[in-house]
Amino acid sequence: MNVKEKNTSYTTRGLKRIRNAFRYSIDGLTATFKNEAAFRQELMLAAALVPLAIFLPVSLLSKTMMLSSIMIVLIVELTNSAIETVVDKASPEKHPLAKRAKDTGSAAVFLSLLNLAIVWGLCLFNHFFS
């Protein structure tokens, strides 16, 4: 193996690997923001809910759970967008397995949003009614 072969991305280590990973992550966030309306909507939701969670007079544990539920929605939406992109690339024509993959990703987003609503509801109920 010559020096050129060793200098590929899979052998990059240390700070350079971390910098590359960070850059790839920013590229993924940017592409998803540009191409996915649902992600933009969920970011707007996060922009409203994050300050609300921080400033609501609830316990630190409740704040943490509320903020985590927001992050979970964004993480699941990014994963769903990745699945949809790969499915569209691999199978541009309609196929039952492609539909199943897309529907399953959509269901994961739905459950993450349901989780957000439940966590926020329980945290607020606990604060205001107990």
Residues carrying an active site annotation: 77
- Nearest CA-CA partner of 7 in 20, 25, 26, 22: 20
Where on the phi/psi map is residue 59: left (φ > 0), alpha (ψ -120 to 50), or beta? Answer: beta
CA distance 118 to 54: 18
- Torsion-angle region of 93 (φ positive above 0: left; ψ -120 to 50: alpha; else: beta): beta
How far is the C-alpha of 63 from the C-alpha of 69, rounded, in Å?
Answer: 10
